[in-house]
Amino acid sequence: MKTTPRLLAVDPSLSATGIALFEGKDLNSVYLIKTNKENKDRFFEIAWRFTEALEKFKPNTLAIETQYISVRSSSVIKVIEVKGLLEGLFYSYCLKYSINPVVLQIHPNTAKQAVGVKKMYKRKESKIRVKAAVCHIYPQLEKQTQDVMDAIAIGIAGLNEVKRLSAEAE
């Protein structure tokens, strides 16, 4: 990967999708797609707003979180559906602008480790530690939502992966 990444990092969710844009190594912008639970067209709302984010941020790389297997399988399926929607929209965007798409699948543990959370914790404690770690790196973002914090961690892990792939290509 020889071009400087404009990496869009995404924490997909049906209710609140966190997005972070990195240019090179720098965090440039954060964004949240929060949907109304009463809206029967939530997937359309997510698609519309994600397409707007793609047009605004103009990324050439997508880092997106993979999904944990969970006891609540219906919620996992919804997140997987959102993830598939967002990946498809990214590929369509890349086709439209003749961009060679780079999609990085980031495991949640990889994202946590990228911000310095090394141990395994229960979900709630893990989220607290990720937020604290991200706020240590970007203290000006402490009022952002957990979804945005997770997107930033995914982005940092994505940048690490870009660096690894570039080193392998040389």
Domain containing residue 152: 6-169
pTM for this model (two decimals): 0.93
Whether 1 maps to a domain, the answer reads no
- Return the CATH number at 158: 3.30.420.10
**Is the CB of residue 61 less than 8 Å from the CB of residue 7?**
yes
Residue 11 CA: distances (Å) to CA of 14, 48, 83, 152, 166: 10, 17, 9, 9, 24
In the structure, how many helices (H) and strands (E) does the chain have?
5, 5
In order along its 170 residues, the chain shows pLDDT tens digits of 456 789 999 999 999 999 999 998 999 999 999 998 887 899 999 999 999 999 999 999 999 999 766 556 677 888 899 999 999 999 999 999 999 999 999 999 999 999 999 888 787 888 899 999 999 999 999 999 999 999 999 999 999 999 999 889 87
| 116 torsion bin: left (phi>0), alpha (psi -120 to 50), beta (else) | left
Whether 119 maps to a domain, the answer reads yes
Whether 161 maps to a domain, the answer reads yes
- Residue 72 is predicted with a pLDDT of 60
Whether 155 maps to a domain, the answer reads yes
* Domain count of the fold of the chain: 1
Whether 45 maps to a domain, the answer reads yes
